Amino acid sequence: MGAIGGLITLLIVVVVVVLPIVSASIKVVQEYERGVIFRLGRLVGARGPGLFFIVPFVDRMVRIDLRTVTLEVPPQEVITRDNVSLKVSAVVYFRVINPESAVVEVADYGRATFQIAQTTLRSVLGEAALDELLANREQINQRLQAIIDEQTEPWGIKVSVVEVKDVELPQTMQRSMSLQAEAEREKRAKIIHAQGEFQAAQTLADAARVIASQENTLQLRYLQTLADIGVESNTTIILTDIAGMLTRFQGILNPAVPGDGNVPAAPGGGNVPAR
């Protein structure tokens, strides 16, 4: 019995002592993670993904996530180049590309990136005018991304996208911009109306020149107008000899001088007999 008891005690000691040591030496990191190993304070390197072993009580592992992180920058008070006070928020997308630098070069890479994004946002937007901020947002986003990425590169951080999320204007500025936009729309409407009037006048002038060049065009246009009017069932049309009436009026207003051979037209369509 004494030998059996000693064996059981030995097994218990092995389970209590050896099993935690073995468990501490086995490490598993996911596909999107890396384990940065330090041996007695010295950097060994990054390992993973998968299963690997470390020396218990000698090695220390820091787990680093390599996935893209979404960092929201809350609204910041910004004064633009033309002295307009704004509240601007942004969003930053970044990820760790060098796990060793992310652990060794900076204490908290997430917080450090956040602080850099805040200061860069205020600095860059302070150099731009309000119209540039509203019209050229894509260029401003690219500039923000380039500056923040350059600052965080020594930490093993890659900033892929920076987007200005929201621009909050003061109420007075919103009213001014609304009035300006309304005036601009009225200006465009008047210009379009004037251009339409000008084109219509040009078309009418061209039509008048075509009608004047053809003798029968005016009469055909007159007949076409009568046909259009006759579409209505309650319309009464009175046809007159316009050409004959004009000839008679011309004869009355311009009587022939005796001896010149010109004979005015008679009211019935014949010639007035010479005396």
Is the Cβ–Cβ distance between 108 and 61 less than 8 Å?
Answer: no
3-state class (DSSP) for residue 53: strand
User: What does the alpha-carbon distance between residue 4 and residue 7 come to, in Å, rounded to a whole number?
Assistant: 5
First to last CA, the chain: 173
Per-residue confidence band for 15, with pLDDT thresholds at 50, 70 and 90: confident
Domain parsing of the chain, residue ranges:
15-65, 69-169
Q: Give CA–CA dist 58/41, Å, rounded.
A: 9
Q: What is the pLDDT of residue 246?
A: 60
Q: Between the CA of residue 130 and those of 72, 139, 157, 175, what are the distances in Å?
A: 22, 14, 31, 15
Q: Which of 61-65, 175-179, 214-218 has the highest mean pLDDT?
A: 61-65
As a dihedral over the C-alpha atoms of residue 8, residue 9, residue 12, residue 16, rounded to 10 degrees, the angle is -170
Write out pLDDT tens, residues 139-181. Answer: 999 999 999 999 999 999 999 999 998 888 877 665 666 666 7
Q: Rounded to whole angstroms, how far apart are CA atoms 46 and 61? A: 9
Check: CB of residue 66 under 8 Å from CB of residue 157: no
Q: Which fold has domain 69-169?
A: Tetrahydropterin Synthase; Chain A (3.30.479)
